[in-house]
Amino acid sequence: MSNEQQTKFIIVTGGVVSSLGKGVASAAVGAILQARGLNVNILKMDPYINIDPGTLSPYQHGEVYVTDDGTETDLDLGHYERFLNQNTSKKSNATTGQIYYMVIKRERNGDYLGKTVQVIPHITDEIKRRILDVPGINGEQTDVVITEVGGTVGDIESLPFLEAIRQLRLDVGANNLINIHLTLVPYIKAAGELKTKPTQHSVMKLREIGIQPDILLCRADRKLNMELKRKIALFCNVPIDAVIDAPDVPTIYEIPLMFHEGGLDEIIVDKLQLKCKKPDLKGWENFVQKCKNPQSEITIAVCGKYVHLHDSYKSIIEAFAHAGVANNTRVTLKWVDSESLEGQDSETALSDVCGLLIPGGFGSRGIEGKINAVRYARKNQIPFFGICLGLQCAVIDFSREVCGLAGANSTEFNESPSHPVIDLMEEQKRIKAKGGTMRLGAQPCVIKKGTRAHQIYGADRISERHRHRLEVNNKYREILEQHGMIISGVNPELDLVEIIELNDHPWFVAVQFHPELKSRALNVHPLFKEFVAAALKFNKKNN
């Protein structure tokens, strides 16, 4: 839009309980504004004291999402990228740890000489600076900055962020900042009705802090009737048309369409006095139509050790959704706990699937189960896709079973294996600190012509995101290739293995990077697209 248009701000908060979907809601709001021709960028504020989630277990906070610039961030940034089809960066995620760390550094440098450093104004000023410092898109001014505040209203951890937002509205002007509050309207089965009290109390808490929400997104398992909307509007001091339904939907990619149908984008445009066109949502409509009405269905196994918390593999789940639409098929994921496959044959768990994916992960727990699963897929000609640790498991299996390297392993799982086919890079061996020290972010890869990888990408050189410490040991590359493993992708700067594949197999590809991080709803990643196509072909051939 015009550079004359002042940047506007949308703050998304949540109440009552966590996991209501603030990240998806924020991304969907961004998508419908983007469909109106506006330049949109999103920032996630996380109230935990960790500098980033890189050292957290997936069971604590779901997957760690990695940006092109190598920042380990909250999984909601994945939603932002998938909905907006644009890259985020280190400026797109701020934690309490980062905020306090920056203020303490300034204090140590003498920036506050003579002053008492306090939450107000120093911490709140730093929070406001992070919101105002969100970069433009492709060199153009950002029309709308959406800031999602993690946690729920009433949390002690969130208070400095909410106070900063209260101040920011005064700083930029009431017409330039609005608050969208996502809240729960639970259905009480015993009473047979939806209850508005949790929403009322959530808004009451927000208003006590000094923030009056402009729009309410009401999460429920069904739509609200007009009587309930009137009640919420009255007690929460918002116009009735600003009480927006946010019911459960079959696919999260329907949410932009649902919000548009509810008039959300019109209210935002009106309240922020935005100059923009009517939305073009044809791409979303086509995607949702294919997602809800596929021509076929296949089952693919995901074998990992965090399978009891699906958010640990959020980007993989969504990449399969994108690939399913691209192949006009529904991909049903069968979650296989890798520990359950240790010391036994994989046939029981994998005999009914059309493909196997081994995702990334850390630690020795469940490793032999993953290696057994790779072996089963390799021997039984089941399409196989390995990601990060999945590639390393494939190399270990191939080394042991095909190359005859008994005891081949990774030094992550055995400090002194007879054949360390997977090992730390030399520079990693000198690193002691755990936070932010892995091989992270976008790295180049040169692809060998005539390989499956080259056919899939249609390019000689690509860039993909990494998050790992260990690599294929170059000392074993020659013997791997002599026995039929094709090293089809190599990092040209570090001479490290990036992609492997097998020729005597319908589809056997593994990568050291994380392609799921670059798959978008309206721009599917080619590796996932072709893997699903191979699984579909396998299903037709064997059923």
The identity of residue 29, as a single letter, is V
Annotated catalytic residue: which of 388, 393, 403, 445?
A: 388
Q: Please enumerate in sequence order all residues whose Cβ is within 8 A of that of 443, keeping only pairs 6 or more positions apart, or say none.
A: 463, 464, 465, 466, 491, 493, 494, 498, 513
Please give the helix or strand (H or E) that residue 329 lies within, else none.
strand 329-337
CATH node for 295-542: 3.40.50.880
What is the reported pLDDT for 2?
46
The HSE-up count of residue 182 (CA atoms within 13 Å, CB side) is 27
CA distance 521 to 516: 11
Q: How many helices (H) and strands (E) does the chain have?
A: 19, 23
Using CB atoms within 10 A of its CB, is residue 47 exposed (0-12), middle (13-18) or buried (19+)? Answer: buried
Please give the helix or strand (H or E) that residue 487 lies within, else none.
strand 485-491
Query: Would 8-286 and 295-542 be classified into the same CATH topology?
Result: yes
What is the reported pLDDT for 437?
67
Annotated catalytic residue: which of 61, 260, 419, 514?
A: 514
Residue 519 DSSP one-character state: -
Is residue 464 flagged as an active site residue? no
Strand intervals (E) in 143-295: 144-149, 177-184, 187-188, 193-194, 215-220, 243-247
Instruction: Show the tokens assigned to 348.
Output: 């029981």
Q: What's the CATH fold of domain 8-286?
A: Rossmann fold (3.40.50)
List the chain pLDDT tens, one digit each, 543 residues. Answer: 445 678 999 999 999 888 899 999 999 999 999 999 999 999 999 999 998 888 787 777 788 999 999 999 989 999 999 999 999 999 999 999 999 999 999 999 999 998 999 999 999 999 999 999 887 766 778 999 999 999 999 899 999 999 999 999 999 999 999 999 999 999 999 999 999 999 999 999 999 999 999 999 999 999 999 999 999 999 999 999 999 999 999 999 999 999 999 999 999 999 999 999 999 999 999 999 999 999 999 999 999 988 888 888 999 999 999 999 999 999 999 999 998 888 767 778 898 999 999 999 887 788 999 999 999 999 999 999 999 999 999 999 999 999 999 999 999 888 888 999 999 876 656 665 556 567 889 999 999 999 999 999 999 999 999 998 899 999 999 999 999 999 999 999 999 999 999 999 999 999 999 999 999 999 999 999 999 999 999 999 887
What is the reported pLDDT for 475?
95
What is the reported pLDDT for 429?
64
**Residue 356 Rama label (left phi>0; alpha psi -120 to 50; beta):** beta
The HSE-up count of residue 124 (CA atoms within 13 Å, CB side) is 15
Please give the helix or strand (H or E) that residue 526 lies within, else none.
helix 526-542
Q: Please enumerate in sequence order all residues whose Cβ is within 8 A of that of 119, keeping only pairs 6 or more positions apart, or say none.
A: 160, 163
What is the reported pLDDT for 9?
97
Is residue 403 flagged as an active site residue? no
Backbone angles phi, psi at 147, to 5 degrees: -120, 120
What is the reported pLDDT for 219?
96
Annotated catalytic residue: which of 403, 516, 525, 530?
A: 516
Question: For residues 161 and 155, is the Cβ–Cβ distance under 8 A?
Answer: no
Please give the helix or strand (H or E) that residue 419 lies within, else none.
strand 419-424
215-220 and 177-184 strand pairing:
parallel
Closest CA to 391 of 414, 418, 410: 410
Q: Where are the domains of the chain?
A: 8-286, 295-542
Is residue 514 flagged as an active site residue? yes
